[in-house]
Amino acid sequence: MKLSVLDQAPISEGGTASQALQNSLDLARTADALGYLRYWVAEHHGTPALACNAPEALIGPIAAATRHLRVGSGGVMLPHYSPFKVAETFAMLAGLYPGRIDLGLGRASGTDPRTSLALQRDRARRQPDDFPQQLVELLAYFQSAIPDDHPFARQAALFAALEKPEPWLLGSSAQSAIWAAELGLPYAFADFINSDGAPLAAMYRERFAPAHGKPRGIVAAWALCAESDAEAERLAKSSQMLFQLFLSGTLIAVPTVERAEAFLASNPSPFSQTRRAIVGGPAKVRAGLEAVAREYGADEVMVVTICHDHAARRRSYELIARAFA
């Protein structure tokens, strides 16, 4: 089974966004040395917990700091942007790092409605829900599929001489699975958002048109590994508090374990009841990740981990890699 990393660049309480980004570079170098296949950077806006508001700005430094990893977005939230600009940006990254750049694309906003409005150039009205059209346009630039009589035909022709990233569609719903199958795209399902997605992954494989080759899937799962089950459960309390407050509309940086333990003692967390979290020692986490892969029929698992201490997060990825080695 192949292992990959989804990095949300967590900002720890008492730390800064700059430190979080340096931690991402450190974790990427670690993942590269450990043999992980991909390193994707998420896109989130308007939160003090995550520094990943512009994955395209972080992909280049990560690719420069590593040798073997495929580096990409997990993902670019396309409704915020011009498909042409996204295509240009990732063609440029692919030119700098040929054969190593992935373009993961998502439909979600990655933030709250007010921040989504702030991201828009035109604030007079809400943007139309035209993600399918945006996606088709973006792919057409890479596939030289824009007809000669199209208004953007001259601009599209420029891509013929450029390096191309590998596009992926990200999702956690039936609609994203359908689009990925119809367009022949590899598909990454966010189990850490919707842990009932195995039937949707199966639907993607069933609907995938043979003309596009074979379906390829990744399942992205939340996991935290430590030397023992007890230590992993202790470290996971920071994320439990963070997520519980997020559900109530309160945004904070990733709290310390001690603060989280005190909070959860009087505010029991619904974390384990709403989203899957694979937490434990190496044997337990390996078994959990293998079970998720079987459930989704995937041969690649992308691990996302948030905890307060960066050294503990790095150690988690080390232990997982060694458990599978």
Per DSSP, the three-state class of 169 is: strand
- DSSP letter at 68 equals S
pLDDT given for residue 126 in this prediction: 75
Q: Is 81 strand, coil or helix?
A: coil
Distance CA 40, CA 7 (A): 6
pLDDT of residue 83: 95
| pLDDT tens for each residue of 75-110 | 999 999 999 999 999 999 999 999 999 999 999 877
User: Contact at 8 Å (CB) between 258 and 14?
Assistant: no
The per-residue pLDDT for 270 is 60
Share of the chain above pLDDT 90, in %: 82
Q: Is 75 helix (H, G, I), strand (E, B) or coil?
A: strand
Tens digit of each residue's pLDDT (9 = 90 or more) over 270-299:
654 568 999 999 999 999 999 999 999 999
Which parts of 144-255 fold into alpha helices (H)? 153-157, 174-183, 198-207, 229-235, 237-247
Between 146 and 191, the higher pLDDT residue: 191
Q: How much is the pLDDT for 271?
A: 52
Q: Residue 79 in contact with residue 131, Cβ under 8 Å?
A: yes
Rounded Cα–Cα distance for residues 120 and 126 (Å): 8
Confidence at 165, pLDDT banded by 50, 70, 90? very high
Query: Given its phi and psi angles, is residue 288 left (phi above 0), alpha (psi -120 to 50 degrees) or beta?
Result: alpha
- The residue to which tokens 């700098």 are assigned: 96
Q: Are 74 and 188 in contact (CB under 8 A)?
A: yes
Q: Where are the domains of the chain?
A: 2-324
Is the pLDDT score of 187 beyond 60? yes
Res 35: pLDDT: 98
Q: Which helix (H) or strand (E) holds 166?
A: strand 166-171
Distance CA 57, CA 38 (A): 17
Predicted model pTM: 0.94
Residues in Cβ contact with 141 at an 8 Å cutoff, skipping those fewer than 6 apart = 83, 84, 87, 156, 159
Of 92, 75, 73, the closest CA to residue 84 belongs to: 92
Q: Residue 38's Cα: distance from chain center in Å?
A: 11
Q: What are phi and psi of 321, to 5 degrees?
A: -60, -45
Residues in Cβ contact with 35 at an 8 Å cutoff, skipping those fewer than 6 apart? 3, 68, 321, 325
pLDDT digits (tens, 9 = 90+) for 193-223: 999 999 999 999 999 988 889 999 999 999 9
2-324 carries CATH number 3.20.20.30: yes
Q: Give the pLDDT band (50/70/90) at residue 1.
A: very high
Query: Partners of 106 in the beta sheet?
Result: 77
DSSP assigned state of 281: S
Going by the DSSP 8-state scheme, the letter that residue 10 receives in this structure is B
Q: What percent of the chain has pLDDT over 70?
A: 98
- 305-318 confidence digits (pLDDT tens): 999 999 999 999 99
Q: Which candidate, 195, 280, 276, 289, places its Cα nearest to that of 243?
A: 276
Question: Alpha carbon 211 to chain centroid distance?
Answer: 28
**Of the candidates 163, 154, 164, 200, which has an alpha carbon nearest to the alpha carbon of residue 181?**
200
Read off the pLDDT of each residue in 159-179 and give the average, rounded to a whole number: 95
18-64: pLDDT as tens digits: 999 999 999 999 999 999 999 999 999 999 999 999 999 999 999 99
The predicted pLDDT at position 274 comes to 61
C-alpha closest to that of 304 among 275, 284, 267, 281: 275
User: Given this model, what pLDDT does residue 119 score?
Assistant: 81
Quickly state the pLDDT bin for 133 (edges 50, 70, 90).
very high
